[in-house]
């Protein structure tokens, strides 16, 4: 404790010296120029001493808390301050005898080790109020890269001696891509590289010991460095004595009292039997409730994922429908000069649709090649377009009309044709069934007959 306090005071003094010296106008500009020179031309793709000896990366961990140890999921959750140290000669500087603590975003512009946790299930770097990571440069090029991480790591447990069991939970740290030819891992400070373990308190476990291991592992792609932090957890028997053993012993002793009760007092014996039986059932119910809680937690996580996916699908569906609506909605003027909106509902193209003319004399008054605009006499106004009269026969009363973008819709019964150049008009009745919507393409031939 005394050494830790002394170390913190020394760091505070250094920071104060840095603050008062760097904030002078001349020194501030010099520091800015130095940082710009370090980052200019820096290639993040290449490791330090590329082509030379491997980079030695030291690691240290300050354990903040062990949040949960789950026998059901076979894992544990650990929050820690994870520091990595290495030397990059490209970042060495002169003229400033102090360390430079830079903004956390500078880490994206520097090479950092590709460290990952081998037995990790889910991890994240804290981001309140800013992303919890630190970059500190030393004059000789040494880099300190610190992160505040919460990780859920797998821990295979042997529960055969439960609740008198002991478990070993490890945290495996390894390089993902760099082999031992490029990078080496070691615990900085030896056995003192991990701190904060002694102040951790768990409701069901006690941390008996922890062990640090450094070794190389060989795969088909090469040999990789690996560091291991192993916690030895011993289950607190006192917790289970109060929660499990004592209630069971008391219930058993209470059930023996029935042997000292007079055999005529059947009501008392039945009451004692029911109490002991109910108590055992309550114990089973507690276990089931605990399992149900774990299941509910998993269901909540699943629902969150499903809701996220469904929200994305709904947004895509909405955007598609809005796009279709914007393409298919247009404005049309009715014969009564009132303006309405029609949603086009296109179906299969049908050609040579037959119409019967209700007024043959009106049909004969139509002139060849005149443009005919038509509107629907129905209140739903389900037709719109332009037709061109292509041919007609006075004797047979047959009129052929070439369609220019004619749309016929559901419930189309009576169609009113109006010539553009004259007041002649004709009403025709569609042979298309009411329940069918049709779209006629350009140059489709319509036959008007008596």
Is residue 362 a contact partner of residue 424, using CB atoms and an 8 Å limit? Answer: yes
Most confident segment among 156-160, 244-248, 269-273, 353-357: 156-160
Q: Checking DSSP bridges between strand 339-343 and strand 354-357, what pairing results, if any?
A: unpaired
**What's the CA gap between 225 and 214, in Å, rounded?**
8
The gap between the terminal CA atoms of the chain, to the nearest Å, is 109
How far apart, in whole angstroms, are the C-alpha atoms of residue 96 and residue 222?
Answer: 41
Q: What are phi and psi for residue 391, nearest 5 degrees?
A: -160, 155
The model's pLDDT over 41-93, given as tens digits with 9 standing for 90+, comes to: 899 999 999 989 999 999 999 999 999 999 889 999 999 999 999 999 999 99
CA–CA gap between residue 82 and residue 56 (Å, rounded): 16
Mean pLDDT taken over the chain:
72
* Lowest-confidence pick of 113-117, 174-178, 337-341: 337-341
Question: DSSP assignment of 354-392, as one string?
Answer: EEEES-HHHHHTPPTT-EEEEEESSTT--EEEEEEEEEE
Query: Considering only CA atoms, which of 361, 352, 358 is closest in space to residue 403?
Result: 352
Q: Provide the pLDDT for residue 326.
A: 55
Q: How much is the pLDDT for 183?
A: 96
Structure tokens that stand for 213 in this block: 């291991």
For the chain, percent of residues with pLDDT exceeding 90: 37
pLDDT confidence of residue 162: 86
- Which pLDDT band holds residue 384 (cuts at 50, 70, 90)? very low
Residue 438's H or E segment, with its range, is strand 438-440
Please, which pLDDT band fits residue 247 given cuts at 50, 70 and 90? confident
What pLDDT is attached to residue 294?
Answer: 72
Q: Which residue did the predictor score with more confidence, 26 or 294?
A: 294
What is the full DSSP assignment across 7-48? HHHHHHHHHHHHHHHHTSHHHHHHHHHHHHHHHTT--TTS-T
Work out the angle between the directed axes of helices 246-256 and 266-328 (0-180°, nearest 10): 140
Radius of gyration, CA atoms only, the chain: 42
Residue 339 reports pLDDT greater than 80: no
CA proximity to 67, closest of 78, 82, 51, 56: 78
- Strand pairing report for 183-187 and 445-449: unpaired
Q: What is the pLDDT of residue 429?
A: 43
What value does the mean pLDDT take over residues 239-255?
82
Q: Which tens digits make up the pLDDT trace of 292-328? A: 877 787 787 777 767 666 666 666 677 666 666 655 5
Q: What is the pTM of this model?
A: 0.55
* Per-residue confidence band for 109, with pLDDT thresholds at 50, 70 and 90: very high
Out of 2.70.170.10, 3.40.50.300, 1.20.1290.10, 3.90.1150.10, which CATH number does the structure's domain 43-235 have? 2.70.170.10
How high is the pLDDT of residue 81?
Answer: 97
**What does the alpha-carbon distance between residue 24 and residue 312 come to, in Å, rounded to a whole number?**
52
Beta carbons within 10 angstroms of residue 302's beta carbon: 10
pLDDT at 280 over 80: no
pLDDT band of residue 231 (cuts 50, 70, 90) is very high
How far, in whole angstroms, is CA 289 from its chain's centroid? 30
pLDDT per residue as tens digits for the range 139-167:
999 999 999 999 999 999 998 888 889 99
């Amino acid at each position: 404790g005394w050494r830790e306090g002394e170390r913190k005071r020394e760091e505070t003094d250094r920071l104060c010296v840095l603050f008062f010296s760097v904030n002078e106008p001349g020194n501030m500009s010099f520091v800015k120029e130095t940082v710009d020179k370090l980052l200019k031309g820096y290639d993040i793709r290449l490791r330090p001493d590329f082509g030379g000896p491997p980079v030695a990366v030291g690691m240290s961990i300050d354990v903040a808390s062990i949040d949960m140890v789950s026998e059901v999921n076979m894992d544990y959750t650990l929050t820690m301050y994870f520091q990595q140290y290495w030397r990059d000669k490209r970042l060495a500087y002169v003229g400033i005898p102090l360390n430079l603590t830079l903004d956390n975003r500078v880490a994206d512009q520097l090479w950092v080790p590709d460290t990952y946790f081998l037995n990790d299930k889910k991890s994240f770097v804290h981001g309140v109020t800013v992303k919890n990571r630190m970059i500190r440069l030393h004059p000789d090029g040494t880099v300190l890269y610190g992160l505040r991480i919460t990780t859920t790591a797998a821990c295979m447990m042997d529960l055969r001696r439960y609740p008198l069991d002991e478990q070993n939970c490890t945290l495996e740290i390894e390089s993902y891509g760099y082999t031992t030819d490029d990078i080496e891992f070691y615990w900085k400070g030896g056995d003192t590289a991990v701190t904060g373990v002694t102040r951790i308190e768990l409701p069901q476990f006690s941390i008996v010991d922890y062990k640090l291991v450094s070794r190389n592992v060989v795969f088909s792609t090469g040999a990789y460095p690996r560091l291991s932090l192993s916690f030895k957890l011993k289950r607190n028997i006192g917790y289970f004595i109060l929660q499990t053993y004592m209630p069971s012993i008391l219930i058993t002793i209470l059930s023996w009292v029935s042997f000292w009760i007079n055999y005529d007092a059947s009501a008392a014996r039945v009451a004692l039997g029911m109490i002991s039986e109910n108590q055992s059932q309550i114990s089973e119910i507690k276990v089931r409730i605990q399992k149900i809680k774990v299941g509910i937690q998993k269901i909540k996580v699943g629902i969150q994922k499903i809701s996220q996916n469904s929200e994305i699908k709904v947004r895509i569906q909405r955007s598609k429908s809005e796009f279709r609506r914007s393409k298919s909605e247009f404005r049309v003027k009715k014969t009564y000069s009132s303006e309405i909106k029609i949603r086009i509902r296109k179906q299969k193209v049908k050609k040579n649709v037959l119409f019967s003319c209700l007024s043959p004399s009106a049909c004969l008054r139509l002139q060849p090649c005149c443009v005919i605009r038509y509107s629907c006499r129905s209140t739903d106004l389900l037709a719109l377009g332009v037709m061109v009269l292509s041919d007609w026969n006075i004797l047979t009363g047959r009129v052929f009309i070439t369609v220019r973008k004619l749309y016929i819709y559901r419930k189309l019964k009576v169609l009113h044709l109006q010539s553009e150049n004259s007041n002649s008009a004709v009403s025709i009745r569609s042979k298309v069934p009411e329940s069918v919507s049709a779209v006629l393409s350009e140059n489709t031939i319509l036959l008007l007959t008596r």
